[in-house]
């Protein structure tokens, strides 16, 4: 729930103008009404945009961080990055309010953003789906003087201050380069889901583009679409495609493919690559069922997002670049 001057007015049974007069210490408000409004303001911690700006000017950097409903290993790495950034920036005047979301729904994000506004945060770091609704919410925050840094996942058509993360299209091209040498005369399965996060679509675009450049008639790439979890669309997939030489997973790990008896019988002949370093990915790498994982280093991305936002809040200046790409890491079993 977002606490606004209008909401305070409704709770107290007064006009918005009365709340403004109380907040700004102006006259022409009955003592009993003033006390009632002040009580609600204290109880819910309401601050005006001007008050939040004053706090930032005094050097109190209050930053909200919304961590997505994703793998626990990824979240742990992001938290490590946040702690690293606070130590580097100076813990005395940088306060992080971190919340892990329980779902990826818009409602979950918007309610969490409301709670951050109630705390009076001066800026926000989010890893959010690339949707019109999310872009509009980021635009609303920017309009109220609350800059937003997109971390790990971009919201491209929004007024966000900056995106910190991997170059997703390049990441997909890297995946193509890893498996292309092993697939001559066969089929490559590229597994696609809803792609609610911008990076998934960009990875797939980069992968398909680079595979077309490398193919020269030597292999075929088939796109396998799914509206949700991979499991339904991937069940029995290898039986339907006996000439598969590689499987590409641009988002969530398709464990059902890596557990398929048809895959296990052909162990070592089918190359597999996915993105992200989750607990499940680590297990499959250790067991030799996954060849490559392309990681975007969430620890460094989270740390850099804090650094950028702290600088913006302290100086009022926007970063020179609206996209800051971090290094891509390729992980194999031997590198664990």
Over residues 116-131, the pLDDT tens digits come to 998 889 999 999 989 9
Q: Which residues pair with 164 in a beta bridge?
A: 151, 324
**CA-wise closest residue to 224 among 212, 233, 232, 215:** 233
What local confidence, expressed as pLDDT, does residue 268 receive?
A: 82
**CA-wise closest residue to 97 among 111, 115, 85, 109:** 115
What sections of 45-131 are H helices per DSSP? 49-57, 72-89, 106-118
Q: From CA 114, how far away is CA 2, in angstroms rounded? A: 4
**70 C-beta neighbours (distance < 10 Å), count:** 20
Question: Is 336 a member of any domain?
Answer: no
Quote the Cα angle for 325-328-332, to 5°. Answer: 170
Stated pTM of the model = 0.76
Same domain, 104 and 140: yes
What local confidence, expressed as pLDDT, does residue 241 receive?
A: 81
Same domain, 199 and 236: yes
Which tokens sit at 78? 């992001």
Which tokens sit at 192? 């696609």
Tell me the angle at which helices 72-89 and 298-315 cross, rounded to the nearest 10 degrees: 40
Question: Which three-class secondary structure state does DSSP give residue 115?
Answer: helix
E runs forming strands in 162-235: 162-165, 187-192, 220-225
E runs forming strands in 26-70: 61-67
Same domain, 236 and 205: yes
Question: Is 155 a member of any domain?
Answer: yes
For tokens 């999310």, name the residue.
Answer: 134
- Say how many Å lie between the first and final Cα of the chain, rounded: 43
Question: Which three-class secondary structure state does DSSP give residue 49?
Answer: helix
Same domain, 210 and 290: yes
Consecutive H or E run containing 11 = helix 5-12
Q: Which residues pair with 267 in a beta bridge?
A: none
Consecutive H or E run containing 256 = helix 255-258
The CATH number linked to 30 is: 1.10.260.40
What local confidence, expressed as pLDDT, does residue 99 receive?
A: 95
What local confidence, expressed as pLDDT, does residue 16 receive?
A: 86
Same domain, 302 and 233: no
Question: Which three-class secondary structure state does DSSP give residue 243?
Answer: coil
Same domain, 161 and 302: yes
Residues in the chain with pLDDT values less than 70: 1-3, 45, 47-60, 90-92, 193-198, 226-235, 252-254
**185 C-beta neighbours (distance < 10 Å), count:** 9
**CA-wise closest residue to 198 among 188, 206, 190:** 206
288 DSSP 8-state letter: T
Question: Is 98 a member of any domain?
Answer: yes
The CATH number linked to 64 is: 3.40.50.2300
**Tally of structural domains, the chain:** 3
Q: From CA 121, how far away is CA 147, in angstroms rounded? A: 10
Same domain, 142 and 200: no
Question: Is 333 a member of any domain?
Answer: no
Domain of 26, in residue numbers: 5-46
């Amino acid at each position: 729930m977002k606490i606004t001057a209008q909401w305070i007015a409704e709770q107290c049974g007064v006009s918005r103008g009365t709340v403004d007069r109380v907040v700004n210490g102006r006259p022409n408000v009955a003592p009993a009404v003033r006390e009632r409004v002040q009580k609600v303001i204290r109880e819910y911690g309401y601050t005006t945009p001007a008050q939040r700006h004053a706090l930032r000017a005094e050097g109190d950097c209050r930053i909200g961080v919304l961590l997505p409903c994703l793998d626990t290993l990824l979240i742990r790495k992001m938290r490590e990055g946040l702690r690293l950034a606070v130590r580097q920036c100076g813990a005395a005047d940088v306060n992080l309010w971190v919340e892990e979301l329980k779902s990826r729904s818009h409602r979950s994000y918007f309610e969490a953003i409301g709670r951050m506004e109630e705390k009076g945060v001066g800026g926000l770091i989010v890893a959010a789906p690339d949707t019109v609704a999310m872009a509009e919410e980021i635009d609303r925050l920017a309009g109220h003087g609350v800059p937003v840094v997109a971390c790990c996942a971009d919201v491209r058509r929004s007024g966000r201050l900056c995106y910190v993360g991997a170059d997703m299209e390049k990441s997909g091209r890297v995946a193509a380069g890893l498996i292309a040498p092993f697939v001559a005369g066969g089929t490559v399965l590229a597994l696609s889901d809803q792609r609610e996060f911008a990076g998934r679509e960009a990875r797939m675009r980069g992968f398909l583009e680079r595979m077309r450049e490398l193919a020269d008639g030597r292999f075929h790439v088939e796109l396998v679409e799914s509206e949700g979890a991979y499991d339904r669309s991937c069940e029995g997939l290898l039986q339907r495609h006996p000439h598969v030489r590689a499987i590409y997973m641009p988002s969530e790990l398709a464990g059902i493919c890596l557990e398929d008896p048809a895959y296990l019988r052909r162990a070592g002949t089918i190359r597999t690559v996915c993105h992200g370093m989750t607990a499940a990915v680590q297990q499959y790498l250790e067991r030799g069922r996954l060849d490559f994982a392309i990681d975007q280093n969430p620890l460094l991305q989270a740390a850099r997002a804090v650094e950028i936002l702290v600088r913006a809040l302290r100086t009022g200046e926007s970063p020179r670049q609206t996209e800051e790409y971090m290094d891509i890491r390729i992980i194999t079993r031997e590198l664990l």
